[in-house]
């Protein structure tokens, strides 16, 4: 169960850092439109903070 999501935007890609209970998962997306879709599809209870 993801506890928090940090979103880091660079000029080349967008990184979603998902903090779960044991591990930190990083998803790197190079397409800005797909990253925006993924950001919109986050569950409403998940806390997220934009970075960068």
Does the pLDDT of residue 1 top 70, yes or no? no
Tens of pLDDT, residues 36-50: 999 888 877 777 777
Q: How confident is the model at residue 52 (pLDDT cuts 50, 70, 90)?
A: low
Structure tokens at 33: 């439109």
Q: Report the CATH number at residue 25.
A: 3.30.720.90
pTM above 0.85, yes or no: no
Q: Tell me what the pLDDT averaged over the chain comes to.
A: 88
DSSP of 14-48: EEEEEE-SS-EEEEEE--HHHHHHHHHTS-TT-EE
Domain count, the chain: 1
Domain that holds residue 36: 4-51
Start-to-end CA distance of the chain, whole Å, equals 25
Tens of pLDDT, residues 3-20: 788 999 999 999 999 988
- Helical H segments across 1-52, by residue range: 32-40
């Amino acid at each position: 169960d993801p506890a928090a999501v940090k979103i880091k935007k660079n000029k080349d890609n967008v990184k979603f850092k998902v903090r779960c209970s044991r591990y930190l998962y990083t998803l790197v997306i190079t397409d800005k439109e797909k990253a925006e879709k993924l950001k919109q599809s986050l569950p409403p209870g998940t806390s997220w903070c934009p970075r960068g």
